Each structure stands twice: as C-alpha cells, then as structure tokens.
Amino acid sequence: MSLDLKSLVRTIPDYPKPGILFRDITTLIEHPEGFKESVERLAAAHRGLGFTHVAGIEARGFIFGAGVAIALGVGFVPVRKRGKLPGTTIGQNYALEYGVDTIEIHADVLSDVHKVLIVDDLIATGGTAIAAVGLIRRTGAVCDHAAFAIDLPDLGGADKLRAEKVNVNALMAFEGH
C-alpha cells in the first residue's frame, strides 16, 4: 500500500505574504516513510533512461535530488546561487519578480557525454528550473527531464518547461498558489 504523500504536505496560509498558500515540504521530509517513498517514486519514474547525473536546485532540490541520485546510482550536481561554489563556475541569469538572479554549476562537471535529470521540491512559475535547463544545456549535456515533489499548475511553470522540450514529472499537484 502506498502512502498518500499529499496528506503529508502542510499548507501554511498567507506565507510569505497575504494570499499565498505555502506548500511546506518539511512535514513530508520529516516523515521517514513519506520521504523515502517520495525519493523512490521520483527515481522509479526516471530509472533506465540513461541519466549520468541529477542536478538539484538550491536549496530544497538538494534534499530530494541527492536521494534520487543515490537511488539511480549517478552523480549529483548542485545548482547553486551565485558565489556559493568554489572554483570556476558557469552561470545563468533568470528573472525574479523584482530583478535578476543567477544560478551556477561548476564549469568542469558536465559535457556532451552526460544526460542530466533536474530535481527540485516544487515547480511554481518555472523561472529557476528553466534557468537550470539552459545552464546545463550550455555545457553540451542533454537535459530533457525534470522531476518535482510538488507542481503548482495554476502558476504555469511545468507548462513553460514543457515548451522548452522538457518532460516534467511531479508526485503531486496543488491547485492555487
């Protein structure tokens, strides 16, 4: 019998600002069976597809992504905010509500012989995930799959990723934002 993972996600109204329904995954990852099953389901959906790496997006994508990488037996690439990685990096800018931010990976980790699965906890507007896809593709690596614990379909991020020719898998969806 499989767990109802959605029931393990806490909703916090009006956080971080009024009108927002924050989907809090900490209650899911604090639940040993729920966390394990989440990682196993994400890995199972991508097993046998030839991935060489999982790229986890800072910060909660590290939590799920590392587990998925272990389950698939592949390397893990941290996608970090600018200035957080030592050594030579390559970056990708993306738009925020009020400005621009940058994500980075190590410049020497990926090339055209790699196939990368992007993992994050949640897909909302898709800005960070699309930037991660662009960043990984700039290395020559194939990046045509992304996996999330939660999709907020009303915000359109998964559809934007699909428009970039990325297969999107999410364990659960929550209406609203």
Classify 11 as helix, strand or coil: strand
Which residue in the list 23, 30, 82, 97 is annotated as catalytic? 97
The span from the first CA to the last CA of the chain, in angstroms, equals 30
User: Angle, nearest 10°, between helix axes 60-72 and 32-44?
Assistant: 60
Is 37 a residue of the active site? no
Q: Among the residues of 14-148, which ranges form H helices?
A: 26-29, 32-44, 60-72, 127-138
- Rounded Cα–Cα distance for residues 157 and 15 (Å): 20
Which residue in the list 41, 60, 80, 104 is annotated as catalytic? 60
Instruction: Give the bridge partners for 53, in sequence order.
Output: 75, 116
Is 137 a residue of the active site? no
Q: Is the peptide bond before 13 cis (omega within 30 degrees of 0)?
A: no
Residue found by looking up tokens 């959906």 in the block: 45
Non-local CB neighbours of 27 within 8 Å, separated by 6+ positions: 8, 9, 10
Question: What amino acid positions are annotated as catalytic residues?
Answer: 60, 97
